[in-house]
Amino acid sequence: MGKTNLHQILYAAISTIMLLATIISCNGYKYLQLNQIEPGTLESRLSSKVSEVTDLRIEGELGQKDVEYIEMLAAESDRLYSIDLENSNMQLKSRLFAGCSTLKRVSLPKTSQELPAMLMSGCINLEEVKISEECTYIGENCFSKCTSLQTITIPENVEKLDNKVFKDCTHLRTIRVTAQTPPDCNKATFAGFDTDSCTLVVKKGCASKFRNSPGWENFGTIEEQKH
């Protein structure tokens, strides 16, 4: 067999494997990764597979039309358990995932500097959310009524948590704040759940700062990281 034919066979085999790997199914979960998305193309890339995908990862540039499609998907899908937007470049909008009762895991874009109001409000099964290290502001009611959320990390660049960010997060048990200076917040930021039952974990040497900061001083337990 000639080298040219061998190369053609190998190329065809690799292409087939890549095609088959686009959707990976395991125990009822189906994972789909979409790479190199260009603005306005998400619906055409995803629509034929949307009814079967449970775990979705999107990478690339997303325009307003694409963001609106994600909002529709979150509102109507009864199978979307996980969405990873970490390597996507997009403008988050208010209420983007609000009320999506199936979502358990969300990774937000690493370029996002602000989380808008009510972004994840009412995601009653949300268990894990990854916030960008670039984030400086978390809007009002961003995670309100996320009643399955038990732990969350606030990145070090966050300067302000608005009112009712964690309102009625009744099962929140651990909040980790990696900033040296307590982010600006108030008592209403944590309305509707018992801060005495939630542990605030801060950087070594920072506990006293948080105990004397508005909003943060209401936590019954403030621990410092060991390392």
- Which residues lie below 8 Å from residue 213, measured CB to CB, with a gap of 6+? 182
Dihedral sign computed on CA atoms, order 23, 26, 27, 29: negative
CB 215 within 8 A of CB 190: yes
**Domains plus CATH for the chain?**
17-91 (no CATH), 115-227 (3.80.10.10)
Amino acid at 188: A
pLDDT digit string, tens, across residues 62-106: 999 999 999 999 999 888 999 999 999 999 999 999 999 999 999
The pLDDT score that the predictor gives to residue 16 is 36
Instruction: Specify the pTM.
Output: 0.86
pLDDT digit string, tens, across residues 176-185: 999 999 999 9
CB 80 within 8 A of CB 73: yes
The pLDDT score that the predictor gives to residue 176 is 98
Mean pLDDT of the chain: 89
The pLDDT score that the predictor gives to residue 133 is 97
For the chain, residues with pLDDT lower than 70 are 1-29, 227
The pLDDT score that the predictor gives to residue 51 is 82
